[in-house]
Amino acid sequence: MRSWSWAAAPFALSLLLAPAPVRAAPPDPDPWFGPDKALHFTVSGLVTGGGYGMTAIFSDRVATRIAFGAGLGLIVGAGKELWDLSGHGDPSWKDFTWDVIGTAFGVGIAVTIDLATRGSERAPAR
């Protein structure tokens, strides 16, 4: 009988040391890099750039163009999240974060294009 217990000991030890089954974490329903985040980034950038460009018709001041373009981009992004919060979708701070990043990117691109096309000449301040 003794020889049988020594033969079973390694098997019993391997069962004790075997790793427990690991359950996979459920997928994040709102990942930082989901396809909707690219849409938030793109739409915010386009709205911001469009607002900056529209303001160029009415104002020669770059600061005014930046303020209007950025304000428009942020208002559209915040409005979308408020719409979602009212029961029409899934509100997300991650979505709004991508709206802010897209707005900043849109302002950067718009100012770069504006200054590149106007050259180094400065418009008179009003």
Dump the DSSP string for 81-125. HHHIIIIIS---HHHHHHHHHHHHHHHHHHHHHHHHHHTT--PPP
CB atoms within 10 A of CB 68: 18
Task: Provide the pLDDT for residue 61.
Answer: 95
Contacts of 72 (CB under 8 A, 6+ apart): 47, 48, 50, 51
For the segment 83-106, the average pLDDT, to the nearest whole number, is 96
How far, in Å, are 16, 42, 48, 88, 89 from residue 96 at the CA level? 49, 12, 14, 16, 14
For the segment 55-84, the average pLDDT, to the nearest whole number, is 96
Q: Whole-structure pTM over 0.85, yes or no?
A: no
